[in-house]
Amino acid sequence: MSIVDTNILLETGTNELEILEFVISGNSYGINVAKITELMQIQEVQEMPLSHPCVEGVFQPRSEVYTIVDLSRYLGLGESENPEKDIFIITNFNQMNIAFHVHAVESIFRISWQDIEKPDSIIYGGQEGVVTGIAKVNNRIISILDFEKITFDISPETGINLGEVKAYSGEDREKFPIVVAEDSALLRKMLTEALHTSGYSNITILNNGEEAWDYINRIKNEGPSSVLSKISCVITDIEMPRMDGHRLTKLIKADAALKDIPVIIFSSLIDENMQKKGLEVGADAQLSKPEIGNLVDVVDIMVNREIV
């Protein structure tokens, strides 16, 4: 079952997304449809020796080879009651092809990021929790999972490679204040470390687009002339509770006092379709998260400095 084109119906910058609800051991979870290429019935799997306990193996339905992650095992939940009816959610993000094994899929629904709440850190595992948002749909609680963290936990080399970031010993970069909007605690930590390593130490980290927008407006209200001196660049994820990165970018670029602030979209979802959406809302640059080595070069260009 292909669902690759459903998200194209969404207008860019409206702060909406489409969520696929799936079930594991009777619990409802969600994944952004933008990550999904198709859904498939359970397939014959080739086991891989010495792999992570949550990796079932690989399969090749056509030309692509997919690694299969058993989400039930990763989440510490029970076995499927009807394994022959289980589903593979085929995904592509961070330039990876991964199939997530779930017990059932329910439906796709459209929702505003405004209606997705940040999870309680006590209940959902503190700063390193695997749930990035909570949505209530038809009286059901749906936990939206952090699939980037899941893949990183299973295979750390799939995350941001900080080895690609060059250390910087000068002082110039610390003069440029950068605002970062990122909901994943893991990615916030990695992104902060990468920017600090490169010399950008004047960083304000916000948990989502709404927090970033509120912060930017506080700076604007201090006086329009102070905006660019206090915000040299904004780096934003796309998927975030309350307000996504496309909406944040659109709001910045539509404001006469803020439109000259460079905005870099830094997301696992960057592909041809997302590139078009980013351009529609006025993003100055767009990079996928595996391109961390290029991020500093792009920031240098955005703040109009040539730093060696």
Query: pLDDT in tens for each of the 308 residues of the chain?
Result: 545 444 444 577 889 999 999 999 999 999 999 999 999 988 788 988 888 999 999 988 878 889 999 999 999 998 898 888 999 999 988 888 899 999 999 999 999 999 998 876 545 554 457 888 899 888 888 999 999 889 989 987 666 666 667 676 666 888 899 999 998 888 888 889 889 888 899 999 999 999 999 999 999 998 867 788 899 999 999 999 999 999 999 999 999 999 999 999 999 888 888 999 999 999 999 998 777 778 888 998 998 754 44
CB proximity list for 304: less than 8 A, separation 6 or greater? none
Q: Please give the helix or strand (H or E) that residue 195 lies within, else none.
A: helix 185-197
Cross-sheet strand order for the sheet of 16-24: 104-112, 16-24, 27-32, 140-145, 131-137
C-alpha closest to that of 240 among 134, 150, 133, 137: 133
Mapped onto helix, strand or coil, the DSSP state of residue 193 is helix
C-alpha closest to that of 67 among 90, 94, 83: 90
Whole-prediction pTM? 0.84
Class of 160-302 in CATH? alpha beta
Instruction: Write the CA distances from 96 to 66, 88, 92, 115, 288, integer angstroms.
Output: 9, 15, 5, 29, 11
Strand partners, 89: 39, 100
Strand partners, 105: 22
Q: How far, in Å, CA of 15 to CA of 19, rounded?
A: 13
Domain with CATH 3.40.50.2300 in the chain: 160-302
Q: How far, in Å, CA of 133 to CA of 147, rounded?
A: 12
First to last CA, the chain: 50
Q: Yes or no: is domain 6-157 CATH 1.10.10.10?
A: no
Domain with CATH 2.40.50.180 in the chain: 6-157
Residue 253, classified by CB atoms within 10 Å of its CB into exposed (0-12), middle (13-18) or buried (19+), is: middle
Mapped onto helix, strand or coil, the DSSP state of residue 62 is coil
